[in-house]
Each structure stands twice: as structure tokens, then as C-alpha cells.
Structure 1
Amino acid sequence: MTDLKDSARARTASAKRQRLMRAAAEVMHRQGAERTTIADIARAAEVPVGNVYYYFKTKDELVVAALSEHTHQLDLLTGELDRLPDPRERLKGLIGAWVAQRDLAARYGCPTGTLAVELDKGQGGLDVEAGKVIRLLLTWAEAQFRELNLPQPDGLALTLVGAYQGMSLLANALRDPGIMEREGARLLAWIDSL
């Protein structure tokens, strides 16, 4: 009976930790890491503030948790795209996923990109952690271009991810989700032309 209780407690703790990680990612995307408080994250996760410290001792740990959530979401997306048999269709699916988030990007920018820029202005090396998430995306895109037997797959991946970051930044700066649609269509045509 004790094992069942311990197992249930562990599942509850794990679910609460996941809620806090998701909330950290969402709130930091909307408000920025600097302006986000632990109380903001607790409120978004529907967890008492005191409980947050059980899982994350510092705000920096919550930033790392937010980045882990970004990695998790990227893994889910690329895992889903990897089910497609053709790398060209995978790349186009990635672009489609970006464009589908156009309203969010127009309001807050790219979740990982904006956090990386903000963290670069601070101390403590958290910017390196954000760069790791972007590196995962570059590596995945490079593998798709490599599978297409295209020259310089690393450069093509950099062009693709750079284009996304640029259109996300411009959509946010101009508060125009249409930028994501127009540039997304341009990227789709570019992928077809390769």
C-alpha cells in the first residue's frame, strides 16, 4: 500500500514540476525573463508560491526549466515531422508550424529567440543554454537538407532558421502576423526550388 502511495505522490510531483516548466516557458515568453517573477509562474501553473521552491530553488533554475520546455516542444514537433517520409515535406511542415504560430509571434516574438537575446544581455551563462535549443533546431534542419543530398546543408539550415528568426522578429516589431504568412510562403517556395 505504501508503494502505491509513494508512486502516486511521485506522479503528482512530476506533473506539478511539468506544469511549472510549461508555465515558466509561457510566462517568460510573454513577459521576458527579467520581468517574470516566481509568483507569476506559480500563478500560471496554479501552484502555491511556496511549492515552487520545492522544485526550483532560484529564478535561474526556472529559466533553465523554461529552456528545457522549449527543447521538449521542439522534440515533439520534430518527432512528429520525422514521421513524414520526405525530408522536403518535413522542412515544409516545420515552416507550416512556424506560420501557424504567427499571432503569438507577432505579439511576443519567437519563444526561444527572444529569450536568447534577453539572456545574452545578462550574466551567468544562461544565454549558452538558450543557444543549445537553437542548435538542436539547426542540427535537425541540417539533417533534412543532407538527406536531400544538397550541398552545404549546414548553410541551408542556417539560412532557414535565420529566416524564421528574422520573420518572427519583424512580425513582433511591427505587430503584423501577415509577415509570417508572406515570408512563410516565400520559404516554402524556396524549399521547393532546391
Structure 2
Amino acid sequence: MTNSGNRRVRASQKRQRLTAAAARVLHEQGVERTTLADIAREADVPVGNVYYYFKTKDELVRAALSEHGAHLDAFTAELERLDDPHDRLKALIEAWIDQRDMAARYGCPTGTLAVELDKRADGILDAEVGVVIRRLLDWAGLQFRELDLPDPDDLALTLVSGYQGMSLLANALRDPGIMTREGARLLRWVDSLRPPAGNR
């Protein structure tokens, strides 16, 4: 590889480190409390270099949203390896339960960002958070549709609302057990939607 090729690879890796760091730090500290220096420190990049890749904090927030979206896409692609949509939905819920300690400490990464950005006057970035949440709703709706259930989009809304609610309460009360209990309730709900064996 040429020197210029090596430089491009290193620049791409540095940008990716900054993007991943932005997603983590913004989740843990929130937009207002996070500085570019915090993200540079987390990414192990000199703070002066941050401005080469991201001119403003909003650009870093946008990159963090992109990271959340990419993570969601990779995770749902992994779930698609399961043959049964019921199993995919239950694996999604189990993954939420597995994140109970993080949810109790910081809340849902996308949900908390949505709430914080909604308070801003420009209304641009909060709409972009909505795009990420919509992707989860659409994916869940597709699972319910594959199960040939009525009102699949409403079922998806119920599922994602349940997740957002339990994340918010676990965070507000600093109680990861809420994720465990409410997650178990969601698992039972999904099971209740499975038609009896004789009706399949």
C-alpha cells in the first residue's frame, strides 16, 4: 500500500474511533455535558485532530446517531439468522434485558438522546434520532407481519414503547431489576401471540 493509502486508512480508523467514542460518551454524559475534549480523550486522539474530522459538536452527535443506526442494523441482521420471527423478537428482548445495568445507569442510548435533542430549538437532530427509532419499529413490524398477526405496526409500537418505558424507569430509579421484570413480561406477551400448534 502506498503512503497516501496508509494515510487514508489511518484517517478512516481515527474517524471511526471518534464516532464510536462520541456514541459512548454522549450516551453516558448527554449532549450538553460532553465536550469535544471528552470525546478526543475517549478515542485517544489529540483534541486538535477532532476538528479535522468534525467541525462542531452537532457533527459528532450526527456521527453518534449514525453509529447507533449501524449498530441496530448489524444487530437486526444477526437476528435475521433465526428462522422464526417469534425467536427473533424474543432474542431482541433478551438483548435488552442483558443491557439492564447500562440501562439503569444511563438509559437507552437512542431514547435518552431523543429526549435531550427534542429540547433544542433547531429541531434538526431530534428528527434524525426519530429515523433510528423508526428503523427499529419497522423491523419489529416486519416480524409481526411475518407472523400474519393483525395490526403489526401497532404491535411493534407496543413492543418498542415497552422497551423505552422500562429503560426510562430503570434509569430514573437506578434499578436494573425493572429491565429484568418488564423484559420477562414482554417475553410472555410475545409468547402469547404465538398461535396454538393446531392452528399453524
| Superposition TM-score, scaled by structure 2 size | 0.94
**88-97 or 4-13, which moves further after superposition?**
4-13
Q: Name which of 63, 66, 85 aligns with 1:65.
A: 63
- CA distance in structure 2 between the aligned counterparts of 1:74 and 1:39, rounded to whole angstroms: 27
Deviations 1:66-87 (A, max 9, x none): 1001001101110110111111
**2:2 aligns to what SS in structure 1?**
helix
Percentage of identical aligned residues: 72
Q: Is 1:193 matched up with 2:174?
A: no
Tell me the residue number matched to 1:40.
38
Q: Give the secondary structure class of the aligned counterpart of 2:165.
A: helix
Deviation at 1:8, TM superposition (A): 1.5
Matching residue's letter, 1:50: G
Match of 2:118 in 1: 120
Report the 3-state secondary structure (helix = DSSP H, G, I; strand = E; otherwise coil) of the residue aligned with 1:74: helix
RMSD: 0.8
> Separation in 2 of the partners of 1:105 and 1:94?
15
Q: Tell me which of 48, 61, 66 is aligned to 1:50.
A: 48
Q: Equivalent residue for 1:170?
A: 169
User: What corresponds to 1:109 in structure 2?
Assistant: 107
Q: Which residue of 2 aligns with 1:183?
A: 182
Counterparts of 2:99 and 2:3 in 1: how far apart (Å)? 41
- For structure 1, the residue ranges without an aligned partner over 5 or more in a row are none
Offset, 1:6: 1.8
Give CA-to-partner distance per residue, 1:1-52, whole Å, 9 cap, x none. Answer: xx62222211111111111011001000010011100000000000001101
2:197 alignment partner in structure 1: none
The answer for the alignment partner of 2:145 in structure 1 is 146
- Aligned letter for 1:53? Y
Counterpart CA distance in 1 for 2:192 and 2:27 is: 34
> C-alpha separation between the residues in 1 aligned to 2:136 and 2:52?
31
3-state SS of the aligned residue for 2:3? helix
**Greater displacement, 25-34 / 4-13:** 4-13
In the alignment, which residue of structure 2 is the partner of 1:10?
8
Secondary structure at 1:23 match in 2: helix
| 1:123 Cα deviation from its structure 2 partner | 2.3
Cα offset for 1:152?
Answer: 0.4
Q: Size of the alignment, in residue pairs?
A: 192
The normalised TM-score by structure 1 is 0.97
Poorly superposed stretches of 4+, deviation over 3 Å: none
